[in-house]
Chain A
Amino acid sequence: MFVLNELKGAMGIMQHHDAITGTEKQHVTHDYVRLLDAAIEDAITIARQAFNKMIQGDALKPPILSYDRCRLNESSCHTSEQSQQFVVTVYNHLAWQVNEPIRIPVLDGNYAVYAPNGDLIVSQLVDIPEAVKRLPSRKSSATHEIVFIAHLHPLSYKNFYVTKKHKITKRNIDLSENKKRKNEFYNDINDYWKKMNEKSFIDLKAIEDNIGSFNNVYKDDVKVPEEPIFIKNGGDSGRDFKDFNIDVMKDSKSSYNPDTEQLEEIIKEARRLIEDAKHTSARGRAAVFPKLND
């Protein structure tokens, strides 16, 4: 309570008309900032204790997580910048459900965001505007922000697990047109990656299933050919082959358009490559992953 009283006291001082309108002298401004910042920092202790109780569920165990307050107003957060995996806890204090974009400052890389039920959710890495990086007071190495939409229930909190991934190949996805179809496509990829992560290596069935799901997405859209076009252009360098690519092209004019027979040949070849990969080293297996290009 005494910690909370400190914040109450600071908030009381901030009711002064000079604090509200900014008509205080500059050294008073600095003092107001000092008072408020210290009070907020101390009050975080209460949130920290509460969250730790909720998460560990056992008062005898030491806290698993230590919550930090980040200066998100300048896209700066020491924890998320330095950590390979971190938990984002979002508390909604409104009495209705909200969908709120959450932006977490990080270094450049590939990240996966998991919802509380363990599902991989759609996220996006966005570079921080140069004007923010130029802020004179900013001391941060973050170059990007992970952005995702948190669907929060009334008066509730949610945890999101964010982990840095070392490899990801879902690049080159042009989302500048036909957003709905593209987002469905993106969700499919995310589902596919999630499935992939659960396996030690890829089997062709997964790829074929995946092709089927793309097929359905594309069939719903009259603007693309009814038969999607798949090309395989990955290299095969014996047992240590590096890539197996599936390109889903939306424009038949722009690329190789195999007929059914050729497609079967490609699948056959892919099956052989993957069977080959099953018997190769862990490093070799790790190198087997598809590039899914729209």
Chain B
Amino acid sequence: DEMRMLADDPGVVDHFPETLFVQNKHMKLEVNGTSGQIILISQPDGTDIKYNIKFYYYPACVGDNWIAERRSSGAYIFRPNGTNPTEVPTSYVKGASGPVVDELRSDNNDSVANTVRVYKDLNFIENDWVVGPIDISDDVGKEFIVRYITDIVNNGEFYTDSNGRQMLKRKLFQRPQWNVSLAEPVSGNYYPVVNKITIEDDKAKIAVLTDRSEGGSALTEGQVELMLHRRLLHDDAFGVGEALNETEYGKGMVVRGRHRIFLSKPDSKSSHIEEKKLVLQFDLQPQVFISDAKDLSLNDW
């Protein structure tokens, strides 16, 4: 609040540079003050990774389900109406800043809000996202995704944890055992992500850790995408018999979740071990219990 008050005061506005930063000893995130876009991660060794977080939605396909080409997107089937998702505008401003955590916040007051956190001494970036209620006033079902945009040259290859069993290499429009011809260029390249999806090149590796099972891919070079929330208005005729249209108090359901982004060097064994531990730490988080201590003084405790 004080920073905002200072920013409103024309006398001290020159204290605020055009570019914002949040940082700890492991990394520094840079945000363009004009566009509000995250643009860069600088690491202690002096290397930079271009980086951005953007939210999109795929409008859902609608059909009569008689043939595959006329299949609706539904609970079983992710079938977007086109290959280019619609971007949801987001712009970051500086949030809380203190001895434990620095935050960047984005909230378009509509369907997407995101908080980017960098904790002191912790070597990951945390995204606390809130998606929903998804607007269906235009009678179009929508499937929201987030994209982590980097300059990593992954050559269409990415890795997913294969339903929590092992990290498997995925390559766009390819299957390891047979020649494939995909009729669905987006959903045909989506894979289950239980805890982790990664891309890498010779210089850098980025791992996105999820707090729940999601669908994910790397459809565009250097970009990891994960599906966050869906609201659909038609059944896909695979058995459930109803549209995936969940509501709460008469509004579309709102979903809150977190991603942790871990940056490392692809050839670093210690980083590899650290990443594996971080995956489990995020999946099996400490249990927190809170109890009133009205009859227990600090000294007695």
- Complex: A221 Cα to B285 Cα, angstroms: 38
Task: Of the listed stretches B35-43, B64-72, B137-145, B290-298, name the one at the interface; the rest are far from the partner chain.
Answer: B290-298
CB-based nearest A residue for B257: A73
CB-based contact B2/A89 at 8 Å: no
Per-residue CB contact flags for chain B residues 1-40 toward chain A (1 = under 8 Å, else 0) read 0110000000000000000010111000000000000000
Question: Using an 8 Å CB-CB cutoff, how does the interface string of B99-135 with A read, 1 for contact, 0 for none?
Answer: 1111101010100010100011110001010100100
Distance of A241 from chain B, by nearest CB (Å): 26
B204 interface residue, CB < 8 Å from A?
no
What is the CB-to-nearest-CB distance from A234 to chain B, in angstroms, rounded to a whole number? 20
Report which of B97, B101, B248, B289 forms a contact with A69, defined as CB distance below 8 A. B289
- Chain B contacts for A93, CB-based, 8 A: 284, 286-287
The answer on a CB contact under 8 Å between B289 and A51 is yes
Point out the residue from B3, B75, B100, B213 that lies within 8 Å of A101, measured CB to CB.
B100
Q: CA–CA, A110 to B133, complex, Å? A: 33
Q: Does B203 contact A (CB under 8 A)?
A: no
Q: Is A87 among interface residues, defined by CB-CB distance under 8 A?
A: yes
Nearest CB of A to B211, in Å:
9
Q: Does A147 contact B (CB under 8 A)?
A: yes
Q: Are A65 and B296 in contact (CB under 8 A)?
A: yes
Residue among A90, A161, A172, A176 making CB contact with B301, cutoff 8 Å:
A161
Are B294 and A175 in touch, CB under 8 angstroms? no
One of B46-54, B150-158, B182-190, B239-247 contacting the partner: B239-247
| Interface set, chain A 221-267, CB cutoff 8 A to B | none
Question: Which residues from 224 to 282 on chain B have a C-beta closer than 8 Å to any C-beta of chain A?
Answer: 238-242, 244, 246, 248-249, 251, 254, 256, 277, 280-281
Closest Cβ–Cβ distance, residue B278 to chain A (whole Å): 9
Q: How many residues of B contact A (CB 8 A)?
A: 62
Q: Which residues of B contact A180 (CB under 8 A)?
A: 25
Q: A24-B240, A83-B294 are in contact. Are A149 and B280 (CB under 8 A)?
A: no
CA distance A73 to B281 in the complex (A): 17
Whether the pair A152, B286 counts as a contact (CB closer than 8 A) is: yes
Query: Chain A residues with Cβ under 8 A from B105's Cβ?
Result: 129
| Number of chain A residues close to chain B: CB under 8 A | 81
Q: Which residue of B lies closest to A66 (CB)?
A: B291
CB pair B107–A99 under 8 Å, yes or no, is no
- The answer for the CA separation of A69 and B287 in the assembled complex, in Å, is 9
* B168, CB-defined interface residue at 8 Å: no
A60 within 8 A of B: no
Contact status of A100 and B286, CB under 8 A, knowing A26-B242, A176-B97: yes
- The CA of A132 and the CA of B113, in the complex, are separated in Å by 9
Asked if B180 is at the interface (CB within 8 A of a chain A CB), the reply is no
Q: Evaluate whether A89 and B288 lie within 8 angstroms (CB atoms) in the complex, with A99-B121, A129-B105 already known.
A: yes
Neighbouring B residues of A143 by C-beta, 8 Å: none
Q: A91-B286, A92-B286, A149-B122 are in contact. Are A182 and B99 (CB under 8 A)?
A: yes
Cβ contact of B119, chosen from A22, A84, A101, A127, cutoff 8 A: A101
* Given A101-B100, A126-B101, A136-B249: A67 and B241 interface contact (C-beta under 8 Å): no
Q: Which residues of B contact A86 (CB under 8 A)?
A: 290-293
Hey, which chain A residues are within 8 Å of B25, CB to CB? 179-180
The interface stretch among A4-12, A74-82, A208-216, A276-284 is A74-82
With a cutoff of 8 Å between Cβ atoms, the chain A residues found around residue B109 in the complex are 130
Most chain A CB neighbours (cut-off 10 Å) among B113, B246, B291, B293: B291
Partner of A67, one of B2, B75, B291: B291
Query: Known contacts A67-B290, A88-B289, A183-B120; is A74 also within 8 Å of B256 by CB?
Result: yes
Which A residues have a C-beta under 8 Å from some C-beta of B? 18, 20-26, 29, 44, 47-48, 51, 64-70, 72-74, 77, 79-80, 82-94, 96, 98-102, 104, 114, 118, 122-127, 129-132, 134-137, 147-150, 152, 159, 161, 163, 171-173, 175-176, 179-180, 182-183, 186-187
12 pairs, A vs B, C-beta closer than 8 Å: A23-B75, A23-B76, A47-B289, A70-B290, A83-B294, A90-B287, A93-B284, A94-B280, A94-B284, A127-B95, A136-B249, A176-B97
Closest A-B pairs by Cβ, 3 of them:
A131-B113, A124-B98, A65-B291
